[in-house]
Amino acid sequence: MHMSEWIKAKGDFVSILALEIVGGYSANGKFHFKSAIHRNEFDRISRQLRKENDRCANSDHTPLK
């Protein structure tokens, strides 16, 4: 039997996007997940999105004018 999991909600875009991808929801200042597997997937997606964001921010591209 799977127990629901939750963590304290984070208000940043990456966390909210990752929550939507795994099918969780936000209520009462907490992110709720269907199971520990969904929470682990949320953590993995969040790390991946942050890593990609950092990589793009540190690239040597020229800004658009």
pTM above 0.85, yes or no: no
Given this model, what pLDDT does residue 65 score? 59
Residue 43 corresponds to which tokens in the numbers above?
């953590």
In the chain, what's the furthest Cα-to-Cα distance?
55
> 10 Å Cβ neighbour count for 24?
23
Given this model, what pLDDT does residue 31 score? 93
pLDDT in tens, 8-61: 888 888 999 999 999 999 999 999 999 999 999 999 999 999 998 888 877 776
Given this model, what pLDDT does residue 1 score? 46
More confident residue, 62 or 54: 54
